[in-house]
Amino acid sequence: MRYQRGGLSDRGVDCSGFVHLTFKSKLGLHLPRTTRMQSKIGKEIRKNDLKAGDLVFFRTGSASEHVGIYLEKNKFLHASQKKGVTISRLDNGYWKSNYWKSVRI
């Protein structure tokens, strides 16, 4: 699926839209639509305690935030502007330096 800012359909999704749709379709859970609101729900956990399905948040600019779904072995699934929905590593330099927090729903 390709990236589309504000997207919430098969034509494209943004990071929070992807998380919103995934939790709704796979788990029947209705999460907020925006990254900021998603970051305020659930229980904040330590990075070392991540389990599959936890949300990982990043600050990618002065007013930008990003969210993905933790998989396992330091990998997370997210909607990337360049690659669409993809898997990345938390220990990648970019993501490591921009890591903000993790939340368990």
φ/ψ (deg, to 5) at 94: -65, -50
Q: Which of 13, 78, 88, 102 is flagged as catalytic?
A: 78
Show the tokens assigned to 104: 């368990």
Q: Which of 66, 70, 76, 79 is flagged as catalytic?
A: 66
Residue 15 annotated in active site: yes
Show the tokens assigned to 64: 């930008």
Residues 16, 38: Cα–Cα separation, whole Å? 8
Residue 78 annotated in active site: yes
Q: Which of 15, 50, 55, 90 is flagged as catalytic?
A: 15
Find the helix or strand (DSSP H, E) in which 95 lies.
Answer: helix 93-98
Residue 30 annotated in active site: no
Catalytic residues: 15, 66, 78
